Amino acid sequence: MPNWLTNFVLPKIRTFVGRKEVPDNLWKQCPSCEQTLFLKDLVADLMVCRHCGHHFRIGSGERFKMLFDDAVFETIELPKATVDPLKFRDRKRYTERLREGQAALGAGSDAIAVAHGRIGGIGAVIAAFDFAFMGGSMGVAVGEALVAAGRLAVERQAALIAIPSSGGARMQEGILSLMQMPRTILAADMVKEAGLPYIVILTDPTTGGVAASFAAIGDIAIAEPGAVVGFAGARVIEATVREKLPEGFQRAEYLLEHGMVDMVVKRGDLTATLARILTLLREPVVVPAVAARPA
């Protein structure tokens, strides 16, 4: 409630002591342990807090650099989707939200990017989300991108690795966004039917329509530590079932314990883990045939 203290005294005190806020470009505060981290160290640690292991959200570009051999990769141009089919407007116009996202991530971009390269020497296509772009929400453009990624993997006889980080479907596109759920399943199936590995790396957060479509059907489901993965949010579920949910509900470690993910892998170990899995799946060790024992 605004009063004499907040309106008059507080600003005076602020001018007097100066703002104590840390410059954004030098330091970052860990939202988990609240330690202040030197941004340079944090980048060197792949955006993982060195005190508590909290995994910060990172974008598609960082994922590609981190995962492809020698950070060598080629991003592909994605099919253009119809912009704002419903002329949607909430507090802001949808076109305005798109513009803001593109101002941060580049013209023509959306909440996903696709690149190909090698991981452990084996061909791979990665489709990685950018949560910074409208919460990584899945609209037609994201659906198109996943189909393009699937086609590219088949064409190059490469593995497909999907890295979701998304709040779910993009409500500004209404039912068109929901139609991307079966489309992305088909994209993943295309890769599976070609006998190629389809791996999902679940990162924080993977929820809603994304958790309920392509993200749920990886041949191998890997999750980053602490990632929230689930269809509906914990608060909604709690209010519906009127029961207290267990500690760590919907977190990667909980899902591992309950068989929903195959492994929880620290960001720093992802490259080596992927390389090992791809080698096993794509270049299996040839075991010499056992000679028949003479009678």
Where on the chain is the footprint of Zn ion (CB under 5 A)?
30, 32-33, 49, 51-52, 54
| Minimum distance of Zn ion from residue 53's CB (angstroms) | 7
Q: Least Å distance between CB 42 and Zn ion?
A: 10
Beta strands in the chain (DSSP E): 27-29, 36-38, 73-75, 112-119, 122-129, 159-163, 198-202, 206-207, 220-223, 229-230, 263-264
- CB-CB contact of 151 with 186 (8 Å): no
Give the C-alpha separation, 207 to 104, whole Å. Answer: 23
Burial category of 124 from C-beta neighbours within 10 Å (exposed 0-12, middle 13-18, buried 19 and up): buried
Q: Specify the residue, 34 or 100, whose C-beta has the smaller distance to Zn ion.
A: 34
Q: Which is nearer to Zn ion, 49 or 181 (CB)?
A: 49
Q: How far is the CB of 26 from Zn ion (least distance, A)?
A: 17
Cβ nearer to Zn ion, comparing 55 with 170: 55
What tokens does 194 get? 């070609």
How far is Cα 295 from Cα 280, in angstroms, rounded to an integer?
35
Identity of the residue, 52 or 234, whose beta carbon is nearer to Zn ion in the bound complex:
52
Under DSSP, is residue 19 helix (H, G, I), strand (E, B) or coil? Answer: coil
Nearer to Zn ion, 28 or 170 (CB): 28
CB atoms within 10 A of CB 256: 17
Helices 60-67 and 270-282 cross at an angle (nearest 10°) of: 60
Closest contact distance (angstroms) between CB of 50 and Zn ion is 8
Which of residues 13 and 44 has its CB atom nearest to Zn ion in the complex?
Answer: 44
Closest approach, Cβ 31 to Zn ion, in A, equals: 8
* Smallest distance, Zn ion to C-beta of residue 229, A: 20
